[in-house]
A and B are shown apart, each in its own frame.
Chain A
Amino acid sequence: MITGRTRHGSGLVAWAFAAPALLAYFLFLVYPAMSSLWFSFTDWDGLSATYNVVGLDNYTNMPNDPVVIQAAINNLIWAVVTVVVPVVLGLALAVALNGKVRGKPILRLLFYTPAVLPLVAVASIWGWLYNPQYGAINAFLRAIGLDSLAQPWLGQDSTALGATMVAAIWLRVGFPMLLYLAALQGISQELYEAATVDGAGRWQQFWHITMPGLRPAHYVVIALSVIDSFKVFDLIYAMTYGGPGTATQVMGTWMYFNVFQYNQAGYGTAIAVVITVVAVAVSIPYVRSQTKEHAA
């Protein structure tokens, strides 16, 4: 029989084990986050020892900042494109590689490699590919007689964001592919065999067996991809520096510019808070689904 005292004692032991991790969590995540929240209500310049409390001014000023509007729209476009395309491509590749394909391990490695490359290296590679005069992309277009399609891809507002998203898609296909591949291993082959016997075609098997079987993986892949897309910073910063002009600014880069370059740390952290709130909001369905599964 477990007494109350024993339960109490084991609870203390559990807390003792959790304490180091909790302490680190509070020191390195909760405290900085709370500090940032506080500074978002101030006019701190990011350097001075003093600042004034300005209440909600930083938040109410955001709608009047044309770059914030542009960055938010860019973020939305980025989120849709760099979530949908890599997830669909990743799923297609996973299904293809899950079958009987020659050189499967090499192909997996090939498709996943971009995901492990340093982002700055990726930005440099694509920067060279996109070079208007010497880049491989324009050289290829000119070689096949499509000179009119050769563009200064990163040097004009109309193509800069799209060009950057292509690099992001190339970079991000490997991650969903790998997760879907792992999830596909968990779907019983007997289901497919039974469906075949019942006369179901490949497409029907995909929709009625594969897709439902991948539901847990969908949650993980889509939630993490969405969160990732709202946090975008490094690729934009390294490839276009938010330009030309402000054409490729996203909330992450605009936050950085304000905090670290324009001496508007209060305003910049307010942008960071908005990014966090949005990322948390879109991840709620994922968290809830995980909680439900755990409870079940």
Chain B
Amino acid sequence: MTDSAFNRRTFLTLSGGAALAAGLSACTGGGASDAPTNTGSKELRLFTYEDNSTIDLLKAQIKQFDTQNGTTTTVDSLPGSGAAVYPDKLRTELLGGTGPDVWRIWGGQIGAPFVKAKQAMDLSAYYDKYGWASKLNPAAVSGMTFEGLKGGLPYIALGIGAWYNKAAFAKAGVTAPPTSYEELEEANARILASGVTPLGTAGKYGWHVMRLYEYLLEVSAGPELHDKLLTGAESWDRPEVVTAFTNFKKWQDQKWIPEGAIGLDPADVELWYVQGKTAYTITGPWTEAQGIQAGGKKSADFGVFPFPTGHEPARHSGFVEGYMINAKAGNPDMAAALLDFLIKPETQKAMNITASIVAGAEPDQATLPLSYEWSQGSGKQPFYTIQDQAFPKKQADQYFAIQSDVLQGKTNPAEAAKQMQVVIKGWQK
């Protein structure tokens, strides 16, 4: 903090109304309150974004934890909000001074601001106490580690693959999932010729169409260069990036993605493959329970395969979700105990977690055969960070804007690569 730095209390004191204004901070959404969020040592509040298919399973497990520990835990959920909305609601709650004790959050650059602002607690002591690092997938732990600080506990790691409608593939004469990028393009052409849009994706919020572009970048750049691009260690103004943008435009021009995809809502489009309007989508294992089965369909009529990259290791994009503890939690020890409970294999199994990072908590093969198949195959492969977690929100939005311009023909691929380098340089300043 510099000499000219203020904190909220200083400002309020100077404005001559510290006591009154401290009480008003909840009304104004001003700076963080100094008051603990929870003075009741046995009361916790958990904030999440579970939807109707999973919230009751979570609540049942929380109830069990409460019974064991004599606690009362309130569970609040903002279902279906996604990374575009949920963090805003969480931020508003925290600014109001009454934030949750524990909250679920995405890793990478979505969770980072809460750690940077010291709203989330450093969990290093609890990692040691519970031995979390030895129980969990190291890649997932790194997704919840921010500049060396363990700001969150990973809960699941989700890999993105191609989830397809077998009938649509069969109708198009695609007899097996493609194993190379060339085969994938060939399959797209066949599927389109059969009267079905191949890939169901949408870009209203940027992050869904982004999954296609990041895959194309993995194909053209390969794992090592791709990782360097994401950290800014290599310039984006290079042929591999231009190739990825060129292919990206090609997917739209060839009508391999829905018309006007960039303006469509992913919530509407992602499940078109279940209805047969598209042949496949680019998503994670949650789609089996929340898409296929929730739509009254059988898993046997669908399949999943990794997008072929032609590189070793054969990576897919993926992201981590986890929990953070409020730095002002009234009872951080109890909050940590709750997190430890949530990552126990039996708890995860009871919640039908399809992408557990805990050994012994794989999806149930009988009820979620496709998720199980993914977890035993591609799910074991390394993943690269999904790009709305790789970049801070502002840079991610600039990135999506460039992608949007490429798809609309307003920017050519070579210019897009140059513009992206400018974005990355701006971020690194």
Please report A residues at the B interface, Cβ cutoff 8 Å: 27-28, 31-32, 35-36, 38-39, 42, 44-53, 127, 130-133, 151-157, 160, 240-241, 243-247, 257, 260-264
A residues in contact with B88, CB < 8 Å: 260-261
Interface size on B, residues (CB 8 A): 55
Shortest Cβ distance from A271 into chain B, in angstroms? 14
Give the CA-CA distance A257 to B1 in the complex, in Å.
26
A49-B32, A52-B2, A155-B260 known; 9 new pairs, CB 8 Å cut-off, are: A32-B28, A50-B1, A133-B259, A154-B263, A156-B263, A241-B84, A244-B262, A247-B404, A260-B92
- Is A152 touching B1 in the complex (CB atoms < 8 A)? no
A residues in contact with B5, CB < 8 Å: 50-52
Residue in chain A with minimal CB distance to B30 = A35
20 inter-chain pairs at a CB distance below 8 angstroms, sorted by A residue, are: A28-B27, A35-B28, A39-B30, A46-B95, A47-B117, A47-B119, A50-B5, A51-B6, A52-B6, A127-B268, A131-B264, A131-B268, A132-B259, A132-B260, A154-B260, A156-B262, A156-B263, A244-B203, A261-B393, A264-B394
Q: Let me know if B206 is at the binding interface, CB within 8 A.
A: yes
Give the CA-CA distance A27 to B25 in the complex, in Å.
10
Interface centre among B2, B8, B31, B205 (most CB of A within 10 A): B31
Give the CA-CA distance A133 to B275 in the complex, in Å.
15
B residues in contact with A48, CB < 8 Å: 31-32, 116-118
A residues in contact with B1, CB < 8 Å: 50
Residue in chain B with minimal CB distance to A34 = B15
- Is A46 touching B259 in the complex (CB atoms < 8 A)? no
Tell me the residues in window 16-68 of chain B with beta carbons closer than 8 Å to chain A beta carbons: 21, 24, 27-32, 34
A residues in contact with B262, CB < 8 Å: 152, 155-156, 243-244
Residue in chain B with minimal CB distance to A248 = B263
- Is B404 touching A244 in the complex (CB atoms < 8 A)? yes
- Is B264 touching A51 in the complex (CB atoms < 8 A)? no
Shortest Cβ distance from B70 into chain A, in angstroms? 33
Shortest Cβ distance from B67 into chain A, in angstroms? 35
- Is B204 touching A152 in the complex (CB atoms < 8 A)? no
B residues in contact with A244, CB < 8 Å: 203, 262-263, 401, 404, 408
Give the CA-CA distance A62 to B408 in the complex, in Å.
27
- Is A53 touching B114 in the complex (CB atoms < 8 A)? no
A residues in contact with B34, CB < 8 Å: 49
Q: Let me know if B175 is at the binding interface, CB within 8 A.
A: no
Which listed residue (A36, A38, A46, A263) contacts B11, Cβ 8 A? Answer: A38
Interface string of B245-288 (1 = CB under 8 A from A): 00000000000001111111100100000000000000000000
- Is B408 touching A46 in the complex (CB atoms < 8 A)? no
Shortest Cβ distance from A23 into chain B, in angstroms? 11
Residue in chain A with minimal CB distance to B261 = A155
- Is B404 touching A132 in the complex (CB atoms < 8 A)? no
Give the CA-CA distance A260 to B88 in the complex, in Å.
6
Give the CA-CA distance A36 to B408 in the complex, in Å.
38
A residues in contact with B228, CB < 8 Å: none
10 A-B pairs with the lowest CB-CB distances in the bound complex, closest first: A152-B260, A155-B263, A155-B260, A47-B117, A245-B401, A154-B263, A132-B260, A245-B404, A132-B259, A262-B394
Residue in chain A with minimal CB distance to B205 = A241
Which listed residue (A47, A53, A152) contacts B259, Cβ 8 A? Answer: A152
- Is B410 touching A157 in the complex (CB atoms < 8 A)? yes
Residue in chain B with minimal CB distance to A152 = B260
Give the CA-CA distance A51 to B95 in the complex, in Å.
14
Residue in chain B with minimal CB distance to A131 = B264
Tell me the residues in window 392-429 of chain B with beta carbons closer than 8 Å to chain A beta carbons: 392-394, 397, 400-402, 404-405, 408, 410
- Is B24 touching A45 in the complex (CB atoms < 8 A)? no
Shortest Cβ distance from A250 into chain B, in angstroms? 15
Give the CA-CA distance A49 to B91 in the complex, in Å.
13
- Is A243 touching B28 in the complex (CB atoms < 8 A)? no
